[in-house]
Amino acid sequence: MKQFVFALALGASGLAAATASAAEKLSLNEISAYLNSFTTAQADFTQVNDDGSLSTGQLYIRRPGKVRFEYDPPNGGLVLAEAGTVAIMDPKSNQPPETYPLSRTPLSLILARTVNLAQANMVVGHGFDGVSTVVRAQDPKNPDYGSIELMFTDEPVQLRKWVIHGSAGEETTVILGEMETGMSFSSSLFSISRQKRDR
């Protein structure tokens, strides 16, 4: 179950979007504006777990506060977040879904109704590698919850990858494929109660 948890405790084709000659470091305001520019998004993802194993699947986002990680077979797992709760559903388990507060995951920072990376003590790293802007952020009120490292390309600005740095030192990387935005998602896609009922 660790691979499901770390996706939130928190894609490879998406990394080659911008050339070094055209890329520039994005400001925190530009990144915040980009994240605030969409309510819904979806993308394929590849997840590199802390033990080096790989998982793939589809990611669905509906801000504020809703996300769905749908893992491909053989994992076949599902991670949902809605109404401030994360539920981890393992199809191989007879136990009820594991749940915990979304606020305890660094990914909650980009699922907020309004993202403001410029607020005091949220960003603890802001760099540029010649192609991508990398921002490392944490909950300024709860830095012990871990941090999230976000990679963005420009022209156009797009989120390409994140790395979750857990409180125990574990790391999980999620590499995003081409992200599409602006679609309509039914609330049932993120419904924890419905998934529990349908299991």
**Distance (Å, rounded) from C-alpha 65 to C-alpha 85?**
9
In whole angstroms, what is the distance from residue 153 CA to residue 69 CA? 23
Tell me what pLDDT residue 119 has. 87
pTM of the entire predicted model: 0.85
* Six token digits for residue 41: 């998004």
User: pLDDT in tens for each of the 199 residues of the chain?
Assistant: 444 444 554 333 333 333 444 578 999 999 999 999 999 999 999 999 889 999 999 999 999 999 999 999 988 899 999 999 999 998 888 888 899 899 888 888 889 999 999 888 899 999 999 999 999 999 888 888 889 999 999 989 999 999 999 878 889 999 999 999 999 999 999 999 888 777 6
What is the secondary structure of 91-114 as a DSSP string? Answer: TT--SPPEEEEGGGSGGGGTSSSS
Name residues whose C-beta falls within 8 Å of residue 133's C-beta, 6 or more positions apart in sequence: 25, 26, 31, 126, 127, 151, 152, 153, 154
Q: Write the class of the CATH domain 2-198.
A: mainly beta
Contacts 24+ apart (CB under 8 A), 182-186: 182/38, 182/39, 182/40, 183/40, 183/42, 184/40, 185/40, 185/60, 185/62
